[in-house]
Structure 1
Amino acid sequence: MEIEGIVVKVKKRYTRIRLDDGSTLDLMYRKSDNYIVSDLKKGDWLKATVTVKKYRLWRMRVVGYYLDKVKV
């Protein structure tokens, strides 16, 4: 899945992205994969290709768990 949007928040375990249509997507990943997004800051434009194993709707946000690959 290819996503494009503005980075809202970067944490050790997840990155929150606001997509073009206004929805918010939380990308969850292992703590060891934090190096992939460590150079991102709030307000950066992110275009990434991800493989998501599981989705969940939580507090009106879509959360993607267990990312296989994140290519920035």
Structure 2
Amino acid sequence: MKKNNTVDLSDDLRPEYDLRELLKTGVRGKYAKRYREGTNLVLLAPEVAAAFPDEDAVNEALRLVIQLRKIPAKRKRKLSTV
């Protein structure tokens, strides 16, 4: 037995909301550049993403990496052959 899918497609918008008039001066992508400048998205590889339960865990791990980079690396001494 088929369901009777009758959708009422009548225009129930008020006459004062003429979309042709309202959208006539619209600019596509008006804020796209500003959005991209304020957004820093990074796509993680699937195996990397699987290691972190949420974005907070990723941020915490990256903060740890930043701290570790600040620790100076110890240099190995060369043995003198005298």
The structure with the greater share of residues assigned to strand is 1
**Normalising by structure 1, what TM-score?**
0.22
The structure with the greater share of residues assigned to helix is 2
**Normalising by structure 2, what TM-score?**
0.20
Work out which of the two has the higher radius of gyration on C-alpha atoms and give 1 or 2.
2
